[in-house]
Amino acid sequence: MKHPQIRHLLVGAVFVGLLLPAWLAIPSAAADPTAPQTWVPIGGSYETETLEVFGVEVAEQATGETVDIYVVPSSYGDDPADREDNLALAQTRTDQVEAACDTVVDLDQFPGGCVATLLPLLMREDAMNEANSVQFTDPETDGVFILGGDQTLAMRVLSNTPAEENMEIGFSNGVVIGGTSAGNAVQSRSMGAGYPPDGLRWNALERDKSFIYWGDDLASDERGLSFGLQDVILDQHFYQRGRFARTLSWTGQSVARYGLPGKLGVGVDRATGVMIEDGVITRPFGFSSSAIIDHSNVEQPQWVGPNDTLSVQGVLTHLIAPGTGMAYDIDHRSPILDGNHVTVPERFPLPSLKQSGPSALWLGGGQNANVESQPLAEFADAAQTRGSGVTSIVVIAAGYPSADDSETAATEYADALAGLGWSGDVDIIVHGEDHLSLARIARAAGVLFIGGDQALMSDAVEDAKLERALKLAVQMPTPVMTDEAATAVMGEHYVTTPDPGDIDEDAAVAMFRADGSQFGDGLGIVDDVSLEPVFTYHFRWGRLYGSAYNDPDTVVLGVSELTALRLDRDGGTVVGERSVIAADGSDATWMVGSNGTLGAINVWLDVFGPGDNVE
């Protein structure tokens, strides 16, 4: 701008446009057809590193003696009583944007440095006042940064106002638009809008458990920016808050709404971002990576079970990490590596999950020690019909911090079995404390193997007698069920890193690092797969990809809590409340980003709901 020394909040002036509203009376600046169209979605937070990258991107396209950025606080709140506090906080964020830009700007090219100015766009009346947004159309304006908060509130303020129209004019003339968190979400026309009261991050694969504003009606405020990305759904805090599920649901719904291939899901994690320039996702940056979800190769998604849970196979996913040479062509639905388009690999069937034994094996995803558990109910019913002379269910508990913890956990399952109608005995064996005999297993009406923490399961895995007992049980007419960490060790490999606690957001992000998980050999009772329980509740999506990276030739199955994968002579079937997710990275290109996070091209993802056959 001509006056770089002016660095304060702009207050609205009064513009009069004869008989027309001022914003209609002022002619629009002509769009520059050669100007790059650049979005910079950041998945959350105001880390200096990500703000610096935004500053560099704006400076690349800046003109004049200063790099001029306008900051939009519309997601903060429109209560007049909070206006002063909200503007003060927004000014603090504006100062951060300016300071980060100043550290990276070339003062030889821009002797005035960076100037970030907060626009008072907190209420709809503000956005309707032309004076508060005409700056977007100034040829000297270089960038716009939209603050985080509530994206639905932001669009109630901005939609169908001079502010939105002027922002579009600036964008078409080369103004770079970035934003964090809610400021990320508004950059796509179809915009995520949170959860209903019964919607949670771990049940978001159910159709009605998260909100999406499609943006088909531009007259409505239930959308992102009118000129936002039309073929993409952006999501934020993606790994941190376990949002794979809801974006899979939204993109699946988009196939039904618009036809194949539907909309592309782009999930950007906290303190992480990408550039989306002229239809290409490029130059990833920040602390983590971003995920791309593509339904181009699927058949029509289905909604199954009592809760309308997503069922879709053949979703192609990519993790775009800094320093890998990765990009993505949105229009052609094509990943790019080092400037070359990467072809879609042939998809092969999942390994057979048929069991040779006469009874079933339930691989529980956790939290099944309750009378509402369908998997535990099926197991109890099977034990009731085991035959005369076998009157005890044997519960083997391993991987708990202490013998008392093992006993407590086993008792919870015993109580649940009683509540489900089991009238026989329950024999509890604490691994490492109590004697385990093969004869006891052979006489059991059922065997229930439960595990505490996967980091504490190594003694059980290395116990040859326990391995023989479990292999004997699955070959007999004895129903067998596993739950929690015990399920993890039944496959070829398992994650040995300590399990995350409830809603451990830091752990959810760390799982996507190349060194985010450690691995050990499992019991191999279930061939050709690895297993990860408590999948959606503990945000273990990173373990799914980390396990596929660790052993690309082994399919990884994430089993959600309150759910089990039942294996029998017919194959595998999902039973219970939620989902089983399969990841196949056998033909993927795997990389490690410059920040240590996983990069991947062409990882197949299959989503199975209640009643689905896993095949």
Prior bond of 477 cis (ω within 30°): no
The answer as to whether 396 is a domain residue is yes
Do 125 and 211 sit in the same domain of this protein?
no
Judge whether residue 611 has pLDDT over 80.
yes
Partners of 57 in the beta sheet?
A: none
Judge whether residue 25 has pLDDT over 70.
no
Q: Would you state the pLDDT for residue 36? A: 86
The answer as to whether 347 is a domain residue is no
CATH number for the domain harbouring residue 44: 3.40.50
Q: How confident is the model at residue 6 (pLDDT cuts 50, 70, 90)?
A: very low
Do 319 and 402 sit in the same domain of this protein?
no
Region 132-145: mean pLDDT is 97
Q: Would you state the pLDDT for residue 33? A: 58
Do 522 and 387 sit in the same domain of this protein?
yes
Q: How confident is the model at residue 34 (pLDDT cuts 50, 70, 90)?
A: confident
Find the angle CA(451)-CA(457)-CA(458) to the nearest 5 degrees.
160
**DSSP three-state, residue 180:** strand
Find the angle CA(600)-CA(604)-CA(610) to the nearest 5 degrees.
135
CATH number for the domain harbouring residue 441: 3.40.50.880
Q: Would you state the pLDDT for residue 501? A: 86
Do 479 and 399 sit in the same domain of this protein?
yes
Distance between CA atoms of residues 101 and 615, nearest Å: 51
Region 564-583: mean pLDDT is 98
pLDDT digits (tens, 9 = 90+) for 526-571: 999 999 999 999 999 999 999 999 999 999 999 999 999 999 999 9
pLDDT digits (tens, 9 = 90+) for 42-74: 999 999 999 999 999 999 999 999 999 999 999
Residue 389 Cα distances to 381, 383, 429, 469, 477, angstroms: 16, 12, 20, 19, 13
The answer as to whether 574 is a domain residue is yes
pLDDT digits (tens, 9 = 90+) for 285-305: 999 999 999 999 998 999 999
Pairing of strands 571-576, 613-614: antiparallel
Average pLDDT over the chain, rounded to whole? Answer: 94
Partners of 396 in the beta sheet?
A: 429, 449
Judge whether residue 409 has pLDDT over 50.
yes
Distance between CA atoms of residues 112 and 67, nearest Å: 8
Strands (E), 278-391: 280-286, 290-294, 302-304, 309-320, 326-329, 334-337, 340-341, 361-364
**DSSP three-state, residue 471:** helix
Largest Cα–Cα distance of the chain, in whole Å?
A: 96
Residue 596 Cα distances to 323, 325, 511, 544, angstroms: 10, 14, 11, 17
Do 130 and 53 sit in the same domain of this protein?
yes
- The CA radius of gyration of the chain, in Å to the nearest whole number, is 27
Q: Would you state the pLDDT for residue 502? A: 85
What is the count of structural domains for the chain? Answer: 3
Judge whether residue 93 has pLDDT over 60.
yes
The answer as to whether 456 is a domain residue is yes
Q: Would you state the pLDDT for residue 32? A: 56
Judge whether residue 129 has pLDDT over 80.
yes
Distance between CA atoms of residues 149 and 611, nearest Å: 39
Distance between CA atoms of residues 88 and 204, nearest Å: 35
The answer as to whether 232 is a domain residue is no
Judge whether residue 17 has pLDDT over 90.
no
Do 299 and 382 sit in the same domain of this protein?
no
Looking at per-residue pLDDT, the higher value among 29 and 347 belongs to 347
- pLDDT cut 70: percent of the chain above it: 94
What are the structure tokens assigned to 260, written together? Answer: 């194949």
Do 448 and 543 sit in the same domain of this protein?
yes
> What angle separates helix 162-172 from helix 151-158, to the nearest 10 degrees?
100
Judge whether residue 250 has pLDDT over 70.
yes
Do 373 and 457 sit in the same domain of this protein?
yes
What are the structure tokens assigned to 254, written together? Answer: 């988009």
The answer as to whether 23 is a domain residue is no
Distance between CA atoms of residues 512 and 528, nearest Å: 23
Judge whether residue 165 has pLDDT over 90.
yes
Do 440 and 578 sit in the same domain of this protein?
yes
Mean pLDDT lowest among 35-39, 181-185, 415-419, 425-429: 35-39
Judge whether residue 388 has pLDDT over 90.
no
What are the structure tokens assigned to 34, written together? Answer: 């050669």
Contact 166, 132 (CB under 8 A): no
Q: How confident is the model at residue 19 (pLDDT cuts 50, 70, 90)?
A: very low
DSSP letters, 111-163, are TT-EEEEE----SHHHHH-GGGTGGGG-TT--EEEEPPS-HHHHHHHHTTSHH
Q: How confident is the model at residue 390 (pLDDT cuts 50, 70, 90)?
A: confident
Do 124 and 75 sit in the same domain of this protein?
yes
Distance between CA atoms of residues 275 and 547, nearest Å: 28
Q: The domain containing residue 478 runs over which residues? A: 361-584
Pairing of strands 361-364, 392-398: unpaired
Q: Would you state the pLDDT for residue 8? A: 36
Do 559 and 427 sit in the same domain of this protein?
yes
Helix/strand/coil (H, E, C) string of 327-351? EEECCCCEEEECCEECCCCCCCCCC
Partners of 482 in the beta sheet?
A: 363, 449
> Given 163, 186, 209, which residue is the final one in a domain?
186
Judge whether residue 599 has pLDDT over 80.
yes
Judge whether residue 21 has pLDDT over 90.
no
DSSP letters, 406-447, are HHHHHHHHHHHHHHTT--SEEEEEETTTS---HHHHHT-SEE
Do 296 and 410 sit in the same domain of this protein?
no
The answer as to whether 327 is a domain residue is yes
The answer as to whether 274 is a domain residue is no
DSSP letters, 531-571, are EE-STTTTTTHHHHHHHHHH-TTSEEEEE-TTEEEEEETTE
Instruction: Give the Cβ contact number of residue 608 at 10 Å.
Output: 27
Q: Would you state the pLDDT for residue 391? A: 83
What is the dihedral sign for C-alpha 214, 219, 220, 226? positive
pLDDT digits (tens, 9 = 90+) for 421-457: 999 999 999 999 999 999 999 999 999 999 999 999 9
Distance between CA atoms of residues 481 and 393, nearest Å: 11
Q: How confident is the model at residue 27 (pLDDT cuts 50, 70, 90)?
A: very low
pLDDT digits (tens, 9 = 90+) for 462-508: 999 999 999 999 999 999 999 999 999 999 999 999 999 888 999 99
User: Contacts by 11-20 with C-beta closer than 8 Å and gap 24+?
Assistant: 11/120, 12/120, 12/126, 12/129, 12/131, 12/132, 13/131, 14/131, 15/129, 15/130, 15/131
Q: Would you state the pLDDT for residue 28? A: 35
